[in-house]
Each structure stands twice: as structure tokens, then as C-alpha cells.
Amino acid sequence: MLLRYVGRPLAVLFALDVAVAAAYVFGKWKVSLPDIPLSIFGGVIGVIAGFRNASAYARWWEARTIWGGIVNHSRSFAREVLHMITPVDGGQGDEIEIGSMRRELILLQIAYVHALRHHLRGTAPWTDLAGLISRDDMDRWKEHHNIPLAIQQTMAEKIAQCRQLGWIDDIRWATLDRTLGALADCQGASERIKNTPMPRLYDLFIRLFIDIYCVLLPFGMVESLRLLTPIGSTLVGFMFLALDQIGRDLENPFENLPNDISLTAISRNIEINLEQMLGDTKIPEPLKPVNGVLW
């Protein structure tokens, strides 16, 4: 996979290595620069690239932790809805009405998770929302810039309606509202990562340093390696190019690329869990990796 990502610059580097080796061995050109401190330069660049990759991985892991929280809060919300929404203190409403409200809230939570995934990836959510929300809500939300926020606003309105009908008391309402607040915090944290990329200097200068180092490699190695220069130089260059590409792949975990957080699989697992809590029998299957990638 890495060869596919760095194949083009690696091919250019290999061609340069072959040209330098041929010019030195067969053309007798004095292209050797043995005094270049490649080991020192390589060590410094490795430290800088490693620091950038550590920062990129921290972003990736924070994103995964946030979505782990969304999984937990979604389960908690469904549990609270199922066991807390019931007539209290003389509240009115039959079991059919209350059951319909419970189901609607849990389906809205599933829709919220799918909508948040699409919101972060910049894709349209309507296919995944079909069957979870009403046609009127779907038409109304198409004008919204932040569809997950609109869904959560509707959930809050319905919980307030349950309170007015006497189906939950103040303590239960506060508990449900606190769970919604935790989900909103997770959404905000995800949007922060999405909308705040790594500083451009991290990408520009580190890539520039690596490119310069890879260009200098054959000139510094050709005197000692001669015709083996393309092997040694290309191998070292591949390590640095791969290190740089790994950092680039990890720094944006919501781009719907092979190395991103598997939001689709996480969303499907939440849907399965919540529908099972509802007692549904037609449960979708968990997603499986496609060509080794779990989306």
C-alpha cells in the first residue's frame, strides 16, 4: 500500500540514483560528494518527521476516542429512553404512545450518528437516513448546514414534550439532557479536528527537507556504493518518503480514506446495538473489511 502512495517520487529518486551511478562509474564524472554529512542530516530529519507523525497519530487516536464516546453515549441514551420515559406523578398517555415516542427517539439517535459521519466526511446522508426519520423532517433538514445539530435539536424538543406530558420528571429530564450534552461535546470535538488541520509548515518544510535529502543521497553514496547506489539510496529514500506519507495519512482522520477512522463500521455497530435494544428482528449485518480496509 505504501508503495502505491510513494511510488511516483520513489521512481523519480530511483531514476536519479541510476543516472548518478552511471555518470560516476561509466562516464567518469566527478559527481561524488562524500563530505556531505548524510547521517547527521538524516538523523535530524528523522526526529522532525517522527515528531510530526506523533502529533498526527495523536489526532487520529483522539478522533477514535471521541467516537468511542459516541458509541457509549448512544447506548446510554437508548437505555435511558427505554427505562425512564414512563408516566410519573399522574402523567397521562397509554403504552402505545409512550412506546412510539421511545422508538422515535432511538431511531433519531441512529440517524444522528449516521448524519454526523456524513457531516464529517462531507457526503450526503439521505440514503442512510431513509427509514429512520420522516419525509417531512428530511425535506426540512435539507436546508440545514449542520444536519446532526438539527436532529439533536429535534430530539431535545421531543424530550421536552415528554416532560410536559408527565412521562419524565425533572431528574430524568436532566439525565437525558446530560447525555445529549455529552453527544454534543463529542460532535464539537470531532468538528474541531476536522476543521483545524495540521499547520501547513509541518507539511511544507518537512516534505521539502525530505526531498532535498533524497536528492543528495546518491551523490553522497556513489563513491562507496558505485553501481549499488540505486539500491542503497532508494531504500533509504523509501523509508523517509514512507514516514512522511504515514504522517499525512493520519493527520486527517475524517476524510473517508483507507487509513481513517472506520466511521461507517462504527455507525453500523451503533445501529445494530440500538435496534436490538428496541427488540427489532431485522438487524443489519456488521460491516466486514473490503480488501483489508474497514470503512
Per residue in 45-92, pLDDT (tens digit) is 888 888 888 888 999 999 999 999 999 999 999 999 999 888 765 555
Q: Which residue has the higher pLDDT, 198 or 112?
A: 112
Grid coordinates in use for 286? 456488521
pLDDT tier at 226, thresholds 50, 70, 90: confident
Alpha carbon separation from 187 to 42, 72, 182, 194 (Å, rounded): 40, 14, 9, 10
pLDDT at 185: 95
> Mean pLDDT over residues 16-29, rounded?
82
d(C-alpha 23, C-alpha 2), whole Å: 30
The rounded percent of the chain whose pLDDT value lies above 70 is: 96
pTM higher than 0.75: yes
pLDDT tier at 2, thresholds 50, 70, 90: low
d(C-alpha 277, C-alpha 283), whole Å: 11
d(C-alpha 187, C-alpha 150), whole Å: 12
Q: Inform me whether the pLDDT recorded for 24 exceeds 90.
A: no
CA dihedral 47, 249, 291, 3 (to 10 degrees): -60
Q: Which residue has the higher pLDDT, 24 or 112?
A: 112
Instruction: Give exposure, 246-282, as e/b (b: 16+ Cβ within 10 Å).
Output: bbbbbbbbbebeebbbbbbebbbbbbbbbbeebeeee
Q: How many CB atoms lie within 10 A of CB 240?
A: 22
Query: Where does 85-141 have alpha helices with state H?
Result: 95-121, 126-129, 135-141
pLDDT at 90: 53
pLDDT at 72: 96
pLDDT at 88: 65
| DSSP-derived 3-state class of residue 293 | strand
pLDDT at 92: 59
The rounded percent of the chain whose pLDDT value lies above 90 is: 34
- Residue type, position 120, single letter: L
State the chain's mean pLDDT as an integer.
86
> Mean pLDDT over residues 257-276, rounded?
91
Pick from 221, 259, 257, 255: nearest CA to 237: 221
Pick from 14, 19, 74: nearest CA to 236: 14
pLDDT at 1: 57
- Provide long-range contacts, Cβ within 8 A and 24+ apart, for 70-73: 70/113, 70/116, 70/183, 70/186, 70/266, 70/270, 71/266, 71/269, 71/270, 71/273, 73/179, 73/182, 73/183, 73/186
Q: Which residue has the higher pLDDT, 121 or 31?
A: 121
